[in-house]
Chains A and B, each alone.
Chain A
Amino acid sequence: MYDKMKKPATMLALLSMVALTLSACGSGDKGNNAQPSASAPASAEASASGSAPAEETKAPEPGSIKLKFYAQYSGVEIPVYDAAKEAMKQIMPEVDAEFEVAAQDDEQKIKTYAAAGSLPDIFFASSGLIETLKKADNLYVMDDVVKELNIESLLNESSKPMLWNKDGHSYSVPNVGQWAGVFYYNKDLFAEHNVKVPTNYDELLEAVKAFSAKDITPLALFAKEKWPGVLMLDMAVVGSAEPGGLKRLDNGEGDFSEEVYLKGAQKISELVKAGLLSKNAFNTTADDAAAQFKSGKAAMLLNGAWSMAFQYENLGDKLDILYNPLIDADKADQVQWNMSGGGFNQGFAVSKNSKNVEAAAKYAALFSIEFAKQRVIQLADPNSILVEKVVPTNGLNPVQQKYADDSANFKSMTTFAWGYENAKYKTSIEDNTQKLFAGQKPEDYIKDMTKALENARK
């Protein structure tokens, strides 16, 4: 009997040990999540001492502080990140930053990191993410670092507000200037088909009808993504003399019962009925839209101004931009420099639970400035956030030059959809606006959004 029991009993005991070991691992993690580990203050002290006078303490070894950096380290921005990292090696040689490529996933991964208490030391944070992580007490307040390093003095006047959250604190240092949403258009196609380049909504409607009649897609909208539709609706609202656009609703001001929002939805509906989009618009990606625009199958393309270098590479001198062809003809003078897009507080933020939180904050703040500089040098951003005059390696193309000249006239900006701080509002407006573009009646759209906004504000 004893022998017969021995083997199963041993197996059970082993299984229990495995289960206990696994649960112990789990609770170990939980402990780390709940508060910084015991070694954190010591590490922070060590990093702080790195900036202390050399005679007091021994300088830390180069690369001795390892920082995990979650950022959009991909595509055209790779050389920008690399160059900024190289520059930082001169400023903070003790830090070795390792990039983790940010997922394009509605910030799910970074939020999961936050929920699990394993946020990277430094990460790119949009204004929406900042609000979420602020509530969960996951963000390091960078006020002291910003003041100590005198970051504000490095930023130009229009960029200084981006450093400060509405609660008066700084949670991230901006790394790129404000971009407006713009309509790119093919000058040759307009000339060839004798279509007037639209300067207001009525002319845009005429242009849409004209191109549609000629079997040319008037606008290459990559509507598989949801934000371009929201941007266009925002332009329609701003164009009817509401400079706050859809952003003011996100701020908790006004509601969809206001005439200007119905009017905006009616403009979109009318344009869609006139043949604004291709049948396949809702399955069109940004690359597809750019290819249509490049090949001359589409007359216009809606995107952020950050795409100027890429679009110019595709179209060359045939390319030009329009800021807002959805403005009301009778309000053109009043609203022509009220922009859609841009205008949010975002940049590189630091996890409050980082083991090297002070070094991470200092590194993030200085890296942001280096990054902004490198964006101008390498990508010819015409909207530098810096006081320092930085010259692009290859100069500005004519479209970028136009944007750079005009940007001095910009009176206000709203925000792109990902800059909305109320996640419920953001999701609802993205989904419902896509429905509007798919042919929903404007009145039904307003009804749905009224309900969605009430829910988002609860």
Chain B
Amino acid sequence: MTSKRSYNIALLVFTLPTLLFFTVIVVYPILQTFQKSFFDWDGLTPPTFIGFDNYVRLLDDSDFWVSLKNGLIFALVLVVYQIGLGTLLAIALSTKTLRGRKFFRTSYFVPVVLSGVVVSQLWIAIYNADGGLINSLFRLFGIQYEQAWLSGEHTSIWAIAFSGAWHHLGIQLVLIYTAIKSIPEQLYEAATIDGAPFWKMHWKITIPLLSETYKFCLVIAITGGLNAFQNMFVMTNGGPGNISYTLTFMMYKAAFRSGEYGYGSAAAAVLVLECLLFTILINKYIAREKISY
């Protein structure tokens, strides 16, 4: 009895600092954001309660729908590129017969250590409509497909999202690679004895056993996409107009440029709910059973 009680106290003592820290840094600001979303507030003068008016206004604001769509596109690009390509690369890197594995493993991680501004500037140069790398390649091969990648209504968000996906591919790759390395060798040996071809072996063994890792990777990729800000801030400043807005950018515009902190808080509240919804759905439908070896 005494032992259980002291164990609980110890547990409390060890977790309390983190819980306190988390509450002050994360929970309290989120609650305050929700509270402020019901007010008309410029951040300086006393706020006025306006009920759900900010949320009603959001529904009638083209910035909101563009931002919502762009956030989903960004998340989709991150999922496909980082998890899809990340899986293929992780499988390749875990194949013992591949030469130069260490070199590739380090190379794929290099962009992660670069600052977001540096990566954005690099991609601005690549996407430059007048003589950027992509348009120059098209010109070199005589293909008439030169684009203003970052200012085209249908290309801008895809181009920005791709640069973001490229930047952080290394993190997802490391997570998936580590998970693959933890799968027991015997499973592959048994499959080899049964004559399973390389890709079938990974399809039937590796991918299903990565489901718990995928759950985590999906949460990171989707919430990362919905929350995207830095890339568009540096590369397009949300423009031209609002075509590369995300909800985070909309919040920034409302709060810091227009001085509408209440309205910005409403956009932020929707973003929090959106991220929460995706996290719940991922936890509910992906890797419902715990895998143990």
Contact = CB atoms under 8 A, between A and B. Distances in A.
A438 interface: yes
A99 interface: no
B195 to A, nearest CB: 55
B232 to A, nearest CB: 12
A281 B13 contact: no
B240 A437 contact: yes
- Chain B interface SS verdict (over half): loop
A294 B4 CA distance: 78
Chain A CB count within 10 A is highest, among B2, B16, B242, B259, for B259
Interface size class of A (residues with CB under 8 A): 35 or more
Interface string A86-122: 0000000000000000000110100100110000000
B189 interface: no
Contacts of A438: 151, 153, 239-241, 243
B106 interface: no
A439 B29 CA distance: 40
B241 A132 contact: no
B256 A283 contact: no
Contacts of A434: 239-241
A133 B130 CA distance: 43
A1 B9 CA distance: 12
Contacts of B153: 438
Interface in A272-294: 278-283
B148 interface: yes
B257 A106 contact: yes
A166 interface: no
A76 interface: no
A448 interface: yes
A269 interface: no
B51 interface: no
A455 to B, nearest CB: 8
Nearest to B148: A279
Contacts of A106: 256-257
A5 B12 CA distance: 12
A162 B265 CA distance: 36
B44 interface: yes
Contacts of A448: 62
Interface size class of B (residues with CB under 8 A): 35 or more
A437 B239 CA distance: 11
A429 to B, nearest CB: 11
A411 interface: no
Contacts of B128: 280, 283
Contact of B239 (A12, A111, A226, A279): A226
Contacts of B237: 224, 226
Interface of A: 1, 4-5, 8, 11-12, 15, 19, 105-106, 108, 111, 114-115, 132-133, 135-136, 138, 223-224, 226, 278-283, 423-424, 426-427, 431-432, 434-435, 437-438, 440, 448, 455
Interface of B: 2, 6, 9-10, 12-13, 16-17, 20, 42-45, 57, 62, 124, 127-130, 132, 146, 148, 150-151, 153, 235-243, 253, 256-260
Given A115-B43, A438-B153, 9 more contacts: A15-B17, A135-B42, A136-B44, A280-B151, A282-B150, A283-B127, A423-B258, A435-B242, A440-B241
25 contacts: A4-B2, A5-B9, A8-B12, A8-B13, A15-B20, A105-B256, A111-B259, A115-B44, A132-B42, A135-B44, A223-B240, A280-B151, A282-B150, A282-B239, A282-B240, A283-B127, A423-B258, A427-B253, A427-B257, A435-B239, A435-B241, A435-B243, A440-B241, A448-B62, A455-B57
